[in-house]
Structures are given as C-alpha cells and as structure tokens.
Amino acid sequence: MNLEALLAYLHIAAILSLVVFISSQAALCRVEWLNAAVVRRLVTLDKIYLTAGALVLASGLARTTWGLKSAAWYAGQPLWWAKLGLMLLILLLSVKPSLAFRRWLGQLNQQGTLPVEAEIKAVRAQIMRTAHLLLLIPAAGVMLARGLGIV
C-alpha cells in the first residue's frame, strides 16, 4: 500500500470514528435515559471522541505534509482552511459537553445525584450543533478534491 493510500485510509477511519462517538454521545445524552451507568459511559465515549478528533487533525495534517500535494498547495486553498477551521471549531464546541460529563461524574461520585433536566438538554443541544457542523467538513473536502474553489 502506498503512503497516499495509507494516509487517506487513516484519515477516513479517524473521521468515521469521530462520527460514531459523537453520535453515541447524542444518543445517550437524553433526560429519559440518563442514569449512573450512562454518565460513566458518556465520560468514556468522550475520551474516545476527543482522541478521534485529535487523530482526524493529525491524519489530515499528515496527508497535507506527506501526501501527493504539497503543504504549500494546501496552504493556498481557502477550502482547506475552511475544513481546518471547522474542525477546530468543532473541537472547541466539544469542550462544554466534555466538562459537563466530568462534572456530572464528580457530582454522581460525591453526592450520588444526576444533573438537572435543563443541563442535560443544554449539553445534548450542544452535541447536536457540533454534530451538524461536522457535516460541512466532507462537503468542503469533496469540493476541494474535485477542483471546485481551487485557487
């Protein structure tokens, strides 16, 4: 397998992992489903999700550095910057749910209580906004790969 194919595979696998784990968070972070086991699972899912996000960035930068096109070529493409900016925004938007999950676990361990309904709904809404933004990245990638918006 040549390097370009390997890098593309790693990038796609990281993206799919990111999608799986943000979807899992969205599915579990519901008022009617939240219990002690789910809080613990959300913390674990979040760690995997954040790792997948880091792998998406790392594999994308590896493709930029060692792939067929040069880093200079990518640096001159607005769509590449849009993809990178969206990914960074997604990871920043993921901070609030990550902190909430850890706070919920601490509250559960110390007081034996679950978060209030309003907080659960707010965190789930943040996860959903983040997941929907994620849909824009492949659109930019497809346009870039097809030569649309190339400078």
Residues in the chain: 151
pLDDT, tens only, 99-149: 999 999 999 999 999 999 999 999 999 999 999 999 999 899 899 989 888
CB 113 within 8 A of CB 36: no
pLDDT, tens only, 82-96: 999 999 999 999 999
User: Hey, which bits of the chain come out as E strands?
Assistant: none
Closest by CA to 134, choosing from 39, 42, 51, 56, is: 56
For 84, other C-beta atoms within 10 Å of its C-beta total 17
Percent helix, strand, coil in the chain (nearest 5)?
A: 80, 0, 20
Distance of CA 89 to the CA centre of its chain: 10
Residue 116 DSSP symbol? P
Per the prediction, the chain carries an average pLDDT of 95
User: Percentage of the chain with pLDDT > 70?
Assistant: 99
Q: State the Cα–Cα distance between residues 100 and 130, nearest whole angstrom.
A: 15
pLDDT, tens only, 66-80: 988 889 999 999 999
The one-letter code for the residue type at 89 is L
Q: State the Cα–Cα distance between residues 124 and 118, nearest whole angstrom.
A: 10
pLDDT, tens only, 5-49: 999 999 999 999 999 999 999 999 999 999 999 999 999 999 999
